[in-house]
């Protein structure tokens, strides 16, 4: 029996080593999704939980550009290892009961964790071309996507079991979950310590501010890159964030909130399938395929508007996840091909900053708008925005090709 197409990239020893560590870390990130809210809610109010999670999200976005500059100035594997060690320390602090301290302590730890994640992400994205040849980039990006989504399924499930096993202990029994999370970051740091970057450090010279400006210039010089970043900003603000907030609210109103967890898992499962498909398929117009993949979110919006049965809603979640994976793999592979190696960290950081910068606003404003006007109008606005932001970018040949022409 032939192995899946995406698995062929594991023949590259250096990629295999880094991937193994990131697979463990992805599970750990999934554990944290459950452990952090459990630990904070055991000691603080729901409002305090919002402050902690908001601090983590804002720090991640704020650190992205710094992470991109660091990734282009120093060895990327070492930048990632340093970020993992920082997250290891914060996980240990939470395991020792830091969530039970005054609110300033978990907020500070959440800020530190978010900042480290913001530094890690662009460095990891930029490191991939150093680990595999150009022809294997789509497979490597597909396997990375599949691994992250699998962690989002397995991690929360394991986190829930560990919370139950630790019930009665400090911070609502989250100690075992955070210890497990710390182990995953240690594994990741160890695998990165043995990774040898092909690229020499210090290739990007000048001040940090100058390097940041160079990154923005590289984006402006490529209209298709700038277009997709702006598209992502608008879709997250007007469509994705409102849908993410309204899904649990509408399920609660229908008395079906118990289905929320399985719905999230179905979306992650769809992403896994999408990664497998795009790993073995090289579309002639990767930009068209990627942008239309994001447009599949329309199925989920329509199901929410129509109060569709859970079976149809679940299918739409899987379809949405499938589209997300197709876009993420084609987009990352396009950037790897088009952007010079010594600029990749900064461009991926600008992508993160531009795309996710307004996500907190979308998450905060969607419930307010739904309360004022009802969820229906919010979803209709989102559907219209999705249609426009899908159709307009496809009018550019460079976007359809995901390449300079």
Largest CA distance in the chain: 62
Where residue 335 falls among pLDDT bands split at 50, 70, 90? very high
* Whether pLDDT at 229 is above 60: yes
Per-residue pLDDT reduced to its tens digit, 100-112? 899 999 999 999 9
| pLDDT at position 318 | 95
Residue 135 DSSP class: G
d(CA 191, CA 24): 10
Between CA 86 and CA 92, with CA 88 as vertex, the angle to 5 degrees is: 120
| pLDDT at position 173 | 67
| pLDDT at position 300 | 97
Whole-angstrom CA distances from 149 to 52, 142, 173, 181, 365 are 24, 11, 26, 17, 27
Q: How many CB atoms lie within 10 A of CB 261?
A: 13
Whole-angstrom CA distances from 106 to 36, 55, 176 are 9, 10, 17
Is 310 or 248 the better-scoring residue by pLDDT?
310
Q: What does R_g of the chain's alpha carbons equal in angstroms?
A: 21
| pLDDT at position 5 | 63
Q: Residue 88 is inside which H or E element, if any?
A: helix 76-95
Q: Say which residues have a Cβ less than 8 Å from residue 157's Cβ, sequence separation at least 6.
A: 30
* Whether pLDDT at 215 is above 90: no
Per-residue pLDDT reduced to its tens digit, 13-30? 888 888 888 888 888 888
> Three-state SS for 396?
coil
Q: Say which residues have a Cβ less than 8 Å from residue 331's Cβ, sequence separation at least 6.
A: 228, 290, 402
* Whether pLDDT at 350 is above 80: yes
d(CA 318, CA 234): 22
| pLDDT at position 200 | 52
Q: Residue 105 is inside which H or E element, if any?
A: helix 104-131
Per-residue pLDDT reduced to its tens digit, 32-70? 877 888 788 788 886 787 788 778 878 888 888 888 888
Q: How many CB atoms lie within 10 A of CB 306?
A: 10
Whole-angstrom CA distances from 155 to 150, 169, 264, 287 are 8, 21, 13, 32
Claim: this prediction has a pTM higher than 0.85: no
Average pLDDT, the chain: 86
- Is 313 exposed, middle or buried, given 0-12, 13-18 or 19+ CB atoms closer than 10 A? buried
Per-residue pLDDT reduced to its tens digit, 258-315? 787 788 888 888 998 998 899 888 899 999 999 999 999 999 999 999 999 999 999 9
Structural domains for the chain: 1-201 (1.20.1250.20), 204-405 (1.20.1250.20)
Q: Which percentage of the chain shows pLDDT scores above 70?
A: 93
Between CA 330 and CA 372, with CA 314 as vertex, the angle to 5 degrees is: 95
> By the 8 A CB rule, do 274 and 142 touch?
no
Where residue 214 falls among pLDDT bands split at 50, 70, 90? confident
* Whether pLDDT at 170 is above 80: no
| pLDDT at position 208 | 66
Please give the structure tokens belonging to residue 363.
């998450």
Per-residue pLDDT reduced to its tens digit, 69-83? 888 888 888 898 999
Q: Say which residues have a Cβ less than 8 Å from residue 261's Cβ, sequence separation at least 6.
A: 156
d(CA 309, CA 301): 13
């Amino acid at each position: 029996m032939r192995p899946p197409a995406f698995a062929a990239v594991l023949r590259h020893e250096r990629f295999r080593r880094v991937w193994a560590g990131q697979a463990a870390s992805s599970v750990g990130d999934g554990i944290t999704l459950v452990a952090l809210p459990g630990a904070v809610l055991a000691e603080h109010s729901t409002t305090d939980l919002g402050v902690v999670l908001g601090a983590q999200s804002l720090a991640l976005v704020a650190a992205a550009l710094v992470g991109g500059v660091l990734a282009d100035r120093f060895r990327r594997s070492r930048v990632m290892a340093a970020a993992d060690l920082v997250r290891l320390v914060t996980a240990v602090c939470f395991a020792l009961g830091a969530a039970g301290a005054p609110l300033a302590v978990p907020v500070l730890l959440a800020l530190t964790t978010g900042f480290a994640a913001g530094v890690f992400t662009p460095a990891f994205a930029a490191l991939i071309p150093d680990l595999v040849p150009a022809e294997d980039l789509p497979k490597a990006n597909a396997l990375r996507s599949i691994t992250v989504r699998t962690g989002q399924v397995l991690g929360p499930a394991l986190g829930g079991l560990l919370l139950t096993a630790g019930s009665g202990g400090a911070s609502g029994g989250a100690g075992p979950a955070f210890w497990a999370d710390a182990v995953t970051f240690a594994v990741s740091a160890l695998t990165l310590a043995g990774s040898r970057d092909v690229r020499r450090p210090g290739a990007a010279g000048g001040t940090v501010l100058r390097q940041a400006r160079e990154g923005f210039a590289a984006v402006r010089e490529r209209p298709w890159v700038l277009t997709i970043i702006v598209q992502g900003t608008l879709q997250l603000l007007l469509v994705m964030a409102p849908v993410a907030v309204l899904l649990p609210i509408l399920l609660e109103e229908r008395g079906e909130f118990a289905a929320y967890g399985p719905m999230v898992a179905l979306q992650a499962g769809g992403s896994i399938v999408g990664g497998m498909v795009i790993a073995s398929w090289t579309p002639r117009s990767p930009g068209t395929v990627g942008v239309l993949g994001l447009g599949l979110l329309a199925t989920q919006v329509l199901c929410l508007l129509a109060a569709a049965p859970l079976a149809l809603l679940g299918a739409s979640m899987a379809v949405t996840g499938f589209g997300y994976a197709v876009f993420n793999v084609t987009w990352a592979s396009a950037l790897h091909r088009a952007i010079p190696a010594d600029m990749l960290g900064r461009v991926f950081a600008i992508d993160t900053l531009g795309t996710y910068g307004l996500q907190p606003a979308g998450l905060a404003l969607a419930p307010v708008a739904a309360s004022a006007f009802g969820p229906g109008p919010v979803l209709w606005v989102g559907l219209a925005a999705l249609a426009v932001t899908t159709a307009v970018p496809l009018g550019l040949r460079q976007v359809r090709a995901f390449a300079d022409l």
